[in-house]
Structure 1
């Protein structure tokens, strides 16, 4: 059994325990209605190491952050720059991007475009461009303009989107299944080591929860 499988096995029990754990709600809103008690099984391997899911940061980082987000989510847009800044400055964080388009039809289009950009090695550039767009600007023309400005080849993007539509759709289905298994309330949600945070964090907030995750790991 390799190191990755050992890590996934060690984290599995913690993630499953999170299903019954209290969630940190965003201060700006109220908790949603109670979730059903029975959740679908969680595939921890797919959650952490799906080979088709884009990742950033240090692939050998000592802390993994799994980010569930929607490109129309204002709180996601608010917290994304702080997360990216910490991942870059820390140097020991592995970031897993979970496109979870649940708010609007344009959320699905944006997620498909971002995932299609991955085939030309431009997922992170596309993600940064799309997450920075105001929600009112999430239409085809403005998304295309933002992606072009970010260096994405639009002709190849269109071709990759057509050629890989089935695979991109399967990624989004898996992401949704994982969100349901974790009984996530909406976006954003960040899984930081053993912690589940359903809130828009600032830089210090991300830094603190990463420090807590490292401390927790050192105690185990």
Structure 2
């Protein structure tokens, strides 16, 4: 029995690469299917580069579809992504491009991403940065994120939060409640108020909001970003981030 899946894929390969159009596999009789499969197999063995072309085209189409999906999700959630009072805003709060980062305090890549963020803020005075806790790496991460939300609640300027953020991300060992509280104390937070705010419904509401956003945009790890209408997954590096900021600002990598 011939493989109909192989036949359909092979017909697709030929169609995508400019071969004469062939009807769907289901429209042929059994002998015709066997003959066509032999012809297609022989063709692909003689022209294996066709499979590379098909793979490249498939990747291109999948990437385009993912971009459309991400842009729709960003449009749906724009107000919450860019302007929610539950995010921590640093950089130029009136900037022309908003750079949103979802992070986890136990994410090793997020340490490098923090360096990228500071470099971008230093070199781009028009950049608005929004930080969102996204604790996906276990209970310690959740505890650290809960403390971070409480820090934000007593620091509307974001200055102490940013100091806390650096101390905790750069600290050694597993981030958890104890390490987060130590970082908050070192950053000069009011610890009595912090403990009180930790019990506030706002802590849970903030993390639920962030997780809902991440799920809708297909984020499955940290760091992840929203830059303009673009969703970026992973620590892609400062140069790539700068290019995406350029696209958001003027439609091209370099403005």
User: In the aligned structure 1, how far is the partner of 2:231 from the partner of 2:216?
Assistant: 13
The alpha-carbon distance between structure 1 residues 212 and 171, as it changes in their structure 2 partners (threshold 3 A), is: same
3-state DSSP class of the match of 1:137? coil
Alignment pair present for 1:127 and 2:165: yes
The alpha-carbon distance between structure 1 residues 173 and 140, as it changes in their structure 2 partners (threshold 3 A), is: closer
Q: How many residue pairs are counted as aligned between the two chains?
A: 182
Pick aligned residue for 1:98 from 132, 153, 160: 132
Rg larger in structure: 2
CA RMSD of aligned residues (A): 2.6
Structure 1 counterpart of 2:239: 204
Work out whether residues 87 and 93 of structure 1, in 8 Å CA contact, stay in contact via their aligned partners in 2.
Answer: yes
Work out whether residues 217 and 231 of structure 2, in 8 Å CA contact, stay in contact via their aligned partners in 1.
Answer: no
The alpha-carbon distance between structure 1 residues 42 and 70, as it changes in their structure 2 partners (threshold 3 A), is: farther
Give TM-score, length-normalised by structure 2: 0.64
User: In the aligned structure 2, how far is the partner of 1:62 from the partner of 1:217?
Assistant: 15
Which is helix-richer, 1 or 2?
A: 2
Larger RCO: Structure 1 or Structure 2 (Cα < 8 Å, ≥ 6 residues apart)?
1
Alignment pair present for 1:195 and 2:210: no
User: In the aligned structure 2, how far is the partner of 1:201 from the partner of 1:80?
Assistant: 12
* Deviations, residues 140-169 of structure 1 (Å, cap 9, x unaligned): 33332222222223222112222xx21111
Task: Show structure 2 runs of 5+ residues with no match.
Answer: 1-62
Equivalent residue runs for 1:131-170 within 5 Å: 131-134=169-172, 136-162=173-199, 165-170=200-205
Alignment pair present for 1:70 and 2:115: no
Structure 2 counterpart of 1:21: 66
Task: Point out 4+ residue stretches in structure 1 off by more than 6 angstroms.
Answer: none
3-state DSSP class of the match of 1:43? helix
Structure 2 counterpart of 1:186: 221
Q: How big is the shift at 1:83?
A: 0.6
* Deviations, residues 105-126 of structure 1 (Å, cap 9, x unaligned): 0111111111101122132222
Task: Show structure 1 runs of 5+ residues with no match.
Answer: 1-17, 24-38
Work out whether residues 190 and 196 of structure 1, in 8 Å CA contact, stay in contact via their aligned partners in 2.
Answer: yes
Give TM-score, length-normalised by structure 1: 0.73
Q: How big is the shift at 1:22?
A: 5.4
